[in-house]
Structure 1
Amino acid sequence: MSVANLVLRSKQQEIDALRHLAHKAEWVDAIGQLVQRLQRERGASCIYLASQTQRFAEVRQQAVNEALLHEEKLRQVFSAQMDPAQGTSAQTLSLMAWALLGLESLPALRLQIDRQAMSALDAVAAYSHLIAGLVELVFHMADTAGVPSVSRLLVALLHAVQATEEAGQERALGALLYASGHCQEAHQQRLLHLIDAQERSLRVFGDFAEPALRARWDELQLAPCMATLERLRRALCVARPGTALDSDLSHTWFNACSERMDGLWQLQGDLVQRLREECAARIVHAQQDLQDSRNLLRLLRENPPQRTHAVDRFFETGSTHPTPPEQADHPPTNAEPTPLRELLRTQSQRMAQMEAELEATRRTLNERKIIERAKGVLMARLGMTEDVAFRALQKTSMDQNRRLLEVAEATLALPDLAFATPASGARALQ
């Protein structure tokens, strides 16, 4: 194995990884298109059930029809992934199977809604469970991308996806409250949690997104729909449990939330497009580097180092006064490095920078997973809701002046005995 072969193979693998990522961006787009329709179907179905089928029957049916169309497109994308040439991993195939399992449950779910055989809240939970499986596929794609140079784009995309799904759940729960005509404390708590979760996701999006996309999100914050949404949010969150609500506002709420979500979806579409463009540009650049590598190797062969010329002169046939190689002029100490060495040095620096960016990306995603697991532990062992569990972690973090991640790690490290009772569990957390 030669140095030249290693250099060329490394560059070729970089090109292959970029091509695979560009291909994945296509099916991430297909997943997103279906998720968007399912989110709309979820919200419309919620109003349909909460209003005793008096509202949103046509909106729901239109959403169902659009979802069916995009479901078929996603199935075609999944089918293409079965080709061994795609190199789809076992875990990816498993997640695809889970997502298809959810899609196959949709006809029965829709039939139950048609017959009013389930509550609006159960419908929200069922759709959210299905959507979560599809969103997990997007996260898995980013986690296994293996292309550090686009890591910032991927982190921005993931948190935009997360924020949009949280906004979709908020739309459904708020629609449930307005369409039912009365306020419930448990739903209010869920709304507060979803609003807070969106803000956290969008902060990370803002940290990693390109300036142009951040500016567009800032513009969306000033849109008229945001003022309407904030007014309706406030009415829901401050109302006393059992307070009567104007059911006619369910349309206004749904439309304001939908306009905001459409803006978020547009940002996601732009991020996917930027991902495609970045992959295409880097493939071209890498191919140029690959070609330059060949040219550099050719030049290297045609222009050997000075010391080899001295050896050639020394052993030249018919030479009467050969010059010993040890007396040959040494190259100046400030001589330029050979083209191949320069290529290796440049590539090493680039790879080091890319690895640093990838490590930062992995750290961000890993911290999110640890905090989510800690919330799950508190919910399972202490019977807390997701909102209460997160606020418990957050309060402990502030009280002890420790990072939220450290508190989450400490929670996961606690033995089962510490959670024997809610009181002891709360003290253990503190």
Structure 2
Amino acid sequence: MTETALPLTASQLVLRAKQRELEAVRQLAQRTELVDAIGRLIHGLQRERGATSVWLASGGQRFAEVRTQAMAEADQAEQVLRQQLAGQLAPEQAAGAPLLTLMAWVLMGLEQLPALRAQVARQQLDAAASVAAYSRLIAGPVELIFHIADAARLPAASRLLVALLHLVQANEAAGQERALGAVLFASGRCAQAQQQRVLHLIDAQERSLQVFADFAEPALRSDWEARQLTPEAARLERLRRTLAMARPEAPLDTRHSDDWFEVSSQRIDALWQLQLDLMARLRAECESQSRQAEQDLQDSEGLLQGLRRHPPQHAGAVARFFEADPAAQPVPGPDAVAPAADNAALMALLQEQAARLARMEAELDNARRTLHERKVIERAKGVLMSRLGMTEEAAFRALQKTSMDQNRRLLDVAEATLSLPDFAFGPTPGVPHV
């Protein structure tokens, strides 16, 4: 004897929608902890990169103890991140293929870390090469944060994640700046390629921090603005000018090395503290959203309890739920099963749900546009780097110059670059053109 399935009702669908909202909030709360673990690993690797650059530039004479401590902190952060990544495999996390693939790339990068450290220990890399190697390693975790921000679908949390992503990018640029500046001062010579890279990193920080300011809450923006007025920030600007104004291959005063590392580290620490504050705000937002979603679900279950007992029998009832003017609805006939009051309650709930989702979608659009712009520009830079053999900073300057010369948005120029066929770029110097 087969069991007859009960007919699907509107109330069941409404409740399922509410449950999905609650699941999405809980998933985001777990992803927030993953983002925190990623941020701590990045911070640890940045410290290791900075200490390693000085250690190599000084021939192993300086920062040995700092480097050892930084490696231990990075290892500890890696273990925490691995636990968080393992948690994403739980069915309730619903981690999709793109997220799992990025997680795999991050782990593959971390598996190369012991070999990189061994090369450094044997001094088989110079300081600049070590900065590049650590920066490539850090790029994977940064991209993982981008994916999590791009996948978020809760407006307030999405804004905070966009702010966080660009704060992490600014911090990473500041970390690279610290490492390369330390190499220049410690070596006592202004290498032009590294000098240009430092200038590019300063510009990259300002661009990322502008987006952070656009999306962060006023209190966090004010906090960062106040940090720019400290004596340490002024010292960093003076040293930046020293590097910017130095002629290529000109000598640099090695006595500035410690001062540079100190003030640039203070900038990074200020950005890191801001990142911790932003993470705390993100956690609080997730907790607030979770409580609200749970309350909404409970309220909806109570409101629809009667409707589950008396499901609507006629298709015309569904149309009445979406009627703009409730007074214009026809009066139910004597054969109607669902009470008119219950139908009106469900109609009001559906209309409120639809309006709220529409507001959420509108609020998310701005965050999505910002992330899309970042993605397109990064891809365009990559195309120029691979097809024309440009450095990252040269590729970005080329996009910027075209944008200014043609009076077009940078995004439009990047999209046009991606649409060009391979032959439009011509043969790359030193590479046969097929």
The residue number in structure 1 matching 2:353 is 347
- 1:385-422 deviations in Å (ceiling 9; x for gaps): 22222112111111211111111111122222221157
Is the 2:376–2:414 Cα contact (8 Å) retained in structure 1?
A: yes
Matches for 1:139-178 after TM superposition, within 5 Å: 139-178=146-185
**Of residues 239, 251, 257 in structure 2, which corresponds to 1:232?**
239
Query: What is the alpha-carbon distance in structure 2 between the residues aligned to residue 217 and residue 78 of structure 1?
Result: 31
Question: How many angstroms does 1:223 deviate by?
Answer: 1.9
**Of residues 49, 60, 64 in structure 1, which corresponds to 2:67?**
60
State the secondary structure of the residue aligned to 1:338.
helix
The answer to whether 1:205 aligns with 2:212 is yes
**Of residues 394, 412, 425 in structure 2, which corresponds to 1:419?**
425
Is the 2:163–2:215 Cα contact (8 Å) retained in structure 1?
A: yes
Question: How many angstroms does 1:82 deviate by?
Answer: 3.2
The answer to whether 1:287 aligns with 2:294 is yes
- Percent identical: 61
RMSD of equivalent CA atoms:
2.4
**Of residues 382, 389, 395 in structure 1, which corresponds to 2:388?**
382
Question: Compared with structure 1, are the counterparts of its residues 71 and 266 closer, same or farther at alpha carbon in structure 2 (3 Å cutoff)?
Answer: same
TM-score, normalisation: structure 2: 0.87
Query: What is the alpha-carbon distance in structure 2 between the residues aligned to residue 339 and residue 149 of structure 1?
Result: 28
Over 3 Å off, 4+ runs: 82-86, 298-308
- 1:115-168 deviations in Å (ceiling 9; x for gaps): 111111110111111111111111111222233442211111111111111111
The residue number in structure 2 matching 1:324 is none
The residue number in structure 1 matching 2:261 is 254
TM-score, normalisation: structure 1: 0.88
Question: How many angstroms does 1:85 deviate by?
Answer: 4.1
Query: What is the alpha-carbon distance in structure 1 between the residues aligned to residue 389 and residue 308 of structure 2?
Result: 72
Query: What is the alpha-carbon distance in structure 1 between the residues aligned to residue 264 and residue 176 of structure 2?
Result: 10
Query: What is the alpha-carbon distance in structure 2 between the residues aligned to residue 301 and residue 420 of structure 1?
Result: 68
Question: Compared with structure 1, are the counterparts of its residues 111 and 287 closer, same or farther at alpha carbon in structure 2 (3 Å cutoff)?
Answer: same
The answer to whether 1:405 aligns with 2:411 is yes
Is the 2:170–2:205 Cα contact (8 Å) retained in structure 1?
A: yes
- 1:198-234 deviations in Å (ceiling 9; x for gaps): 1111101000001111011111111222111101100
The residue number in structure 2 matching 1:183 is 190
Query: What is the alpha-carbon distance in structure 1 between the residues aligned to residue 308 and residue 90 of structure 2?
Result: 42
**Of residues 92, 98, 118 in structure 2, which corresponds to 1:91?**
98
State the secondary structure of the residue aligned to 2:304.
helix
Query: What is the alpha-carbon distance in structure 1 between the residues aligned to residue 369 and residue 190 of structure 2?
Result: 40
How many equivalent pairs are there? 401
Question: Compared with structure 1, are the counterparts of its residues 137 and 311 closer, same or farther at alpha carbon in structure 2 (3 Å cutoff)?
Answer: same
Is the 1:82–1:88 Cα contact (8 Å) retained in structure 2?
A: yes
Question: How many angstroms does 1:295 deviate by?
Answer: 2.6
The residue number in structure 2 matching 1:370 is 376
Is the 1:49–1:116 Cα contact (8 Å) retained in structure 2?
A: yes
The residue number in structure 2 matching 1:105 is 112
Question: How many angstroms does 1:298 deviate by?
Answer: 4.2
Is the 2:11–2:308 Cα contact (8 Å) retained in structure 1?
A: no
Query: Counterpart amino acid of 2:14?
Result: V
State the secondary structure of the residue aligned to 1:43.
helix
Is the 1:149–1:354 Cα contact (8 Å) retained in structure 2?
A: no
Query: Counterpart amino acid of 1:262?
Result: D
Is the 2:9–2:308 Cα contact (8 Å) retained in structure 1?
A: no
